[in-house]
Amino acid sequence: MGDTTNLRESTEFVLGVLNEKQQITYSELSSLAFSRGIPEDMLKSSLSNLEATKVIASRSRGGIPTYYMLQQESSFRKVLIVEDDKNINKLMALSIGKDFEISQLYDGMEAVPFVRKNKPDLVILDLMLPHKDGLDICQTIKSDPELSNTIIIIVSAMDPTSNRFKGLKYGADYYIKKPFEPAELRSLVTLFLRKKGKRFDPLIDLPDEERLTEEIERSIKEDSRYTIGALKINNLGDYAIKFGEKSAMVILRLISQLLQDIISTKVQNVFVGFLNSEMFMIAGLHDEVVRAVDEIKQEFNAVLPFILQDAGYKMLDLDIENLFDSNEVPKLTLSFEILPKEKIRERRDEILKSKGEGTKPIGAYTYEELQRLFNDKDFDIKITRDASGVKLQIGKISKEDDS
């Protein structure tokens, strides 16, 4: 009886926290549970039971396991799978589970007419399909005002170097490489279609101000093996001015998904957060952070020629360096700066004193304050989010303070 009572109390605690916050990391939840005297094994049992009954869902975002509250709907949301390999098509359907109304197609030519007639909420799309390729299908769906809100997840074995960029440019919401993890596909479909509150967005739903603050405070306490720094997309504001805000947003989404792939497959225990500008925060053990930064730079340099080709420049006639030297195109590069801990403390104390809070952190930093911690007061772009979705705004393009 005691175990049953404890499990019920633990479950009620988890539901109460998630109803309030909508989403929370496991580390935050376990800290709160510990303060309530809830043992870890009981907490894990509650989380497992709630996931099994589809009340909550989890996903590792930015290297951090996170739990989300789900909407409880009376009707099934509609999912269309377009995959010509029947075995893979079946595996996708089994991966998603029985909580959705699933339709399956095997020929690309049938996809768009089916979407127009049946209006699925989400499409899982292969790229190599008979008679009509997946990128063409994605572009057609996303460019149609009546269909543009359809969520599209591309799952493909094709080389992602250029295809991931093209998929995001044509409006795909996520790109998964084959062979795929069934659990990853299931969690993405669930979060896109059933997350409570604002629509799930893989860029914006990286760790928020509260989690970023916690990671910064943790970095100060850790020894020298723990590194924290900012990955910056240089000249993204100028790129947005030349090619449009939508094009710049594609670059941000590309970097975000590349980072999430690298963290889930190539490095261990690395934290990634988005600073709502042209910067991502990366933290963790020094060697793992260095590996993650090296990987993302290699991946981005590999896709950069395709980005420029897409902008209308023929790389056969003009190599990348000459193109940049001609000043025709803002030179997109990635740079990473490690933030010394004494600088974090110094800037943190300045921020807190300006707020009249002494030197003891209270609550969470705002995104503007986080950017100040990384000494980036004059950022090129700013990301905002409202009921209509995520928007990019060009901010203060300042080159005077670079020194």
Q: What is the pLDDT of residues 335-359, one digit of tens each?
A: 999 988 888 888 888 888 887 755 5
State yes or no: pLDDT of 320 exceeds 90.
no
Most confident of 61-65, 70-74, 75-79, 101-105: 101-105
Q: What is the pLDDT of residues 262-286, one digit of tens each?
A: 988 889 889 999 998 999 999 999 9
> Could you give the 3-state DSSP secondary structure of residue 155?
strand
Return the percentage of the chain with pLDDT > 70, whole number: 89
Please give the angle made by the CA atoms of 343, 252 and 62, to the nearest 5 degrees. 65
Say which residue, 133 or 358, is predicted with more confidence.
133
State yes or no: pLDDT of 400 exceeds 60.
no
pTM of the model: 0.87
**Residue 199 CA from chain centroid, whole number:** 13
**Structural domains of the chain ordered from first start:** 2-69 (1.10.10.10), 77-194 (3.40.50.2300), 209-394 (3.30.70)
